[in-house]
């Protein structure tokens, strides 16, 4: 497959099935394109089967299936570039989103932020150093040098919706430049100037919020933009489609976002503000716990904009704001969790983000890089930060602590908290918040797997914490060989007995099948996850020796669309032999009318000296199943 031109292959397959108009739906699984054709007679199966890169063609389950092998995601992506079908983010794509809605939201936001994490971390450090320079009087606030440096450090945060528009458009399959135009409108100076006012659009009244530095509004806007664009591309005449689609997308999405997302956010934020204000009068410790625990959550959803005006008003009328005090443990507890990740994670890439993020969080209260690049993706550090912030927030609120000036909650901002309430209680509560978040993350947070270096090897810690090559812990039995372990417990079955002609023929490679007696599926080798289907039914792994192994749970189970499967790994993750890949519900699989027979094949068999199945009869996961000679 190395010499195959994937764009040409996709084009030839498209022509071979009768063109784009003959395709009603297109998806892919771990090894094959799955096309639902309008007229099956128009497809030339024999011609497609002869194409370079195609293993075989089969008709099954009402689908025209083109078996490509491990490179099917690339072919599918190319298909998306020349037709309205395919693409990297198909419903049958490889990005797992299993779990509840909140987990799906975390995964989505983390993926969208991932491409800008390094600039975001750099900007956070930049802001921290500028704050330090200002605090020590090295830079005067009104000096032009300060203005220029502030613009350089703050532009990414201020225009964050523009940057997110690019990455969100990739994920939601929307036009990137149209998405940027929508984001630009949200942070347009005249729109920003309307912040907090009542306006109208064609006579429809709405409240205007501040969209600078916001996250959720642009994500919602681009998500809807993708659907709108795909609809317009189908219904508009081809002669006007190219310029009319972005025109209508901008004309519809900008007003729609301003009329819906902004007012909804303001409504929720005002309700939250009223509730917390009442809580401070009734039970300060409870209000402090709420603010200390969930401040960063409010920031993520933009709900903090309803609280900031109350804080500013309290400072201007009373000379202080009690609502600001719990923000100090809220921010520093999340920063402490980042610091623990920086010290304990086995992923060098994660540590490189976590360390500067913790520094900018502690010093200047800039937590965005760490929240979106560390705590939120890993979940547990975020939860531990919430726990620490809630405990610390309750303590500082009970001590009557307050801020006499509006400052970023950070170590540099501490002087603003010294004049009202008990400063000692503030330090105690903040210290406890830091300790709780740090210790919980340090001892119970995710360790992650080591990163793969440019040579394809990895560094893993030994029992004492020292670095040792991951190859020392892989499944190589002797030099020049790799032992592939059984992924499930059950009864081994010869590959030729599998009721799927692609696997049974050995076209996908040599291996074995196992009729499972348990619901857990484990990694048969140590290596990198190269394929992790969204549907949770198939996983492709590659060892450091170059052995490629496919674990396929069930026959034709892609049609279950993820029901009955729970992924435990993601694409790009390092795994050790025996580590959990997924769990399946065998009852659901059988009730849906499918076989739960789990197939394991070495997909690059042709490039290896020998692939010899070892198992027969009953077998337990983790025992040798296939011997590979390199």
pLDDT tens readout for residues 580-630: 999 999 999 988 889 999 999 998 888 888 888 887 789 988 899 998 988
pLDDT at 413: 86
Short-list 242, 116, 100, 106, CA closest to 170: 116
pLDDT at 479: 55
Whether residue 264 is predicted with pLDDT greater than 70 in this model: the reply is yes
CB-CB contact of 342 with 355 (8 Å): yes
Mean pLDDT score, 434-444? 95
Whether residue 393 is predicted with pLDDT greater than 60 in this model: the reply is yes
pLDDT at 574: 86
pLDDT at 91: 36
Mean pLDDT score, 371-390? 91
Calpha distance 186→184 (Å, rounded) = 5
Q: Is 237 exposed, middle or buried (0-12, 13-18, 19+ CB in 10 A)?
A: exposed
Mean pLDDT score, 4-17? 87
Number of H helices, E strands in the chain: 21, 22
Helix or strand run (H / E) with residue 542:
strand 538-542
Instruction: Give me the catalytic one of 346, 522, 552, 621.
Output: 552
Calpha distance 55→71 (Å, rounded) = 11
Calpha distance 388→440 (Å, rounded) = 9
Mean pLDDT score, 156-167? 90
**Residue 552 a catalytic site member:** yes
pLDDT at 451: 55
Residue with tokens 């189908």: 234
pLDDT at 99: 45
What are residue 383's phi and psi, to 5 degrees? -65, -40
Calpha distance 392→433 (Å, rounded) = 5
Whether residue 414 is predicted with pLDDT greater than 80 in this model: the reply is yes
pLDDT at 583: 92
User: Which segments of the chain belong to CATH 3.30.1360.60?
Assistant: 6-82
Whether residue 460 is predicted with pLDDT greater than 70 in this model: the reply is no
CATH for 477-629 (2.30.110.10, 1.10.620.20, 2.60.40.10, 2.70.70.10): 2.70.70.10
Mean pLDDT score, 223-240? 87
Instruction: For residue 92, name the pLDDT band (cuts at 50, 70, 90).
Output: very low
CA angle centred on 306, ends 302 and 310, rounded to 5°: 145
DSSP 123-191: HHHHHHHHHHHHHTTSS-TTSHHHHHHHHHHHHHHHTHHHHHHHHHHHHHT--HHHHHHHHHHHT-HHH
Calpha distance 374→6 (Å, rounded) = 35
Mean pLDDT score, 562-583? 88
Instruction: Give me the catalytic one of 29, 304, 346, 621.
Output: 29
CB atoms within 10 A of CB 573: 18
**Residue 28 a catalytic site member:** no
* Alpha-carbon torsion (156, 158, 159, 164), positive or negative: positive
| Tokens standing for residue 587 | 């009852």
Three-class SS of residue 529? strand
Whether residue 211 is predicted with pLDDT greater than 50 in this model: the reply is yes
CB-CB contact of 491 with 596 (8 Å): no
User: Which segments of the chain belong to CATH 2.70.70.10?
Assistant: 477-629
Q: Tell me the whole-structure pTM to 2 decimals.
A: 0.56
Calpha distance 328→34 (Å, rounded) = 53
Residues 6+ apart with CB under 8 A from 195: 208, 209, 210
Calpha distance 504→498 (Å, rounded) = 5
Instruction: For residue 170, name the pLDDT band (cuts at 50, 70, 90).
Output: confident
pLDDT at 332: 96
Whether residue 466 is predicted with pLDDT greater than 60 in this model: the reply is no
What is the CATH code of the structural domain delimited by 6-82?
3.30.1360.60
pLDDT at 572: 82
Percent of the chain with pLDDT over 70: 91
Whether residue 450 is predicted with pLDDT greater than 70 in this model: the reply is no
Short-list 596, 446, 459, CA closest to 520: 596
Counting every residue written for the chain, the total comes to 630
The per-residue pLDDT for range 99-153, each reduced to its tens digit, is 456 666 776 777 787 778 778 878 888 888 888 888 778 888 888 999 999 999 8
Helical residues (DSSP H) of 321-422, grouped into ranges: 327-344, 348-364, 368-370, 376-378, 380-398
């Amino acid at each position: 497959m190395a010499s195959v031109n994937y764009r040409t292959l996709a084009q030839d397959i498209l022509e071979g099935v009768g063109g784009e108009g003959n395709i009603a739906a297109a998806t892919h699984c771990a090894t094959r394109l799955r096309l639902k054709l309008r007229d099956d007679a128009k497809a030339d199966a024999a011609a497609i089967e002869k194409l370079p890169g195609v293993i075989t063609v089969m008709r099954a389950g009402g689908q025209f299936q083109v078996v490509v092998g491990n490179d099917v995601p690339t072919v599918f992506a190319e298909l998306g570039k020349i037709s309205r079908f395919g693409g990297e983010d198909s419903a049958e794509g490889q990005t797992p989103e299993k779990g509840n809605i909140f987990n799906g939201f975390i995964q989505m936001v983390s993926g969208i932020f991932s491409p800008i994490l390094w600039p975001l971390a750099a900007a956070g450090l930049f802001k921290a150093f500028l704050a330090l320079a200002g605090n020590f009087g090295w830079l005067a606030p009104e000096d032009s040098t300060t203005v220029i440096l502030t613009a350089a450090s703050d532009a990414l945060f201020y225009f964050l919706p523009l940057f997110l528009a690019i990455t969100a458009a990739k994920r939601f399959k929307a036009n990137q430049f149209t998405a940027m135009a929508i984001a630009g409108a949200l942070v347009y100076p005249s729109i920003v100037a309307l912040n907090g006012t009542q306006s109208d659009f064609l006579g429809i009244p709405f409240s205007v919020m501040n969209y600078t530095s916001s996250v959720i509004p642009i994500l919602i806007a681009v998500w809807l933009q993708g659907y709108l664009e795909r609809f317009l591309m189908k219904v508009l005449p081809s002669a006007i489609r190219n310029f009319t689609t972005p025109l209508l997308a901008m004309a519809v999405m900008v007003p729609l976002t301003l009329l819906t997302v902004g007012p909804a956010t303001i409504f929720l934020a005002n309700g939250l503000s009223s509730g917390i204000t009442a809580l401070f009068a009734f039970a300060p410790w409870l209000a402090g716990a709420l603010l200390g625990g969930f401040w960063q959550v409010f920031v993520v959803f933009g709900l903090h904009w309803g609280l900031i005006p109350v804080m500013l008003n309290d400072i201007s009328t009373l000379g202080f704001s009690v609502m600001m005090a719990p923000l100090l443990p809220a921010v520093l507890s999340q920063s402490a969790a980042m610091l623990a990740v920086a010290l304990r994670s086995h992923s060098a890439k994660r540590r490189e983000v976590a360390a500067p993020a913790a520094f900018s969080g502690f010093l200047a209260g800039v937590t965005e890089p760490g929240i979106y690049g560390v705590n939120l993706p890993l979940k547990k550090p975020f939860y531990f930060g919430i726990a620490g912030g809630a405990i610390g927030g309750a303590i500082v609120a009970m001590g009557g602590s307050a801020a006499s000036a509006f400052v970023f909650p950070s170590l540099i901002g501490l002087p603003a908290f010294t004049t009202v309430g008990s400063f000692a209680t503030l330090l105690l509560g903040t210290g406890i918040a830091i300790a709780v978040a740090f210790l919980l993350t340090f001892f119970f947070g995710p360790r992650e797997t080591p990163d793969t270096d440019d040579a394809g090897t990895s560094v893993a810690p030994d029992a004492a914490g020292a670095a040792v090559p991951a190859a020392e812990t892989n499944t190589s039995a002797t030099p020049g060989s790799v032992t592939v372990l059984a992924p499930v417990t059950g009864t081994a079955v010869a590959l030729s007995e599998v009721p799927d002609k692609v696997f049974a023929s050995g076209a996908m490679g040599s291996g074995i099948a196992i009729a499972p007696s348990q619901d857990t599926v484990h990694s048969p080798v140590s290596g990198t996850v190269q394929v992790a289907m969204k549907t949770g039914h198939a996983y492709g792994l590659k060892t450091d020796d170059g052995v490629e192994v496919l674990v396929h749970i069930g026959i034709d189970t892609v049609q279950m669309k993820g029901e009955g499967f729970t992924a435990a790994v993601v694409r790009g993750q390092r795994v050790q032999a025996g580590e959990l890949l997924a769990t399946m519900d065998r009852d659901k699989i059988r009730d849906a009318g499918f076989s739960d027979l789990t197939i394991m094949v070495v997909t690059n068999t042709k490039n290896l000296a020998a692939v010899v199945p070892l198992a027969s009869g009953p077998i337990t996961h983790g025992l040798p199943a296939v011997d590979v000679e390199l």
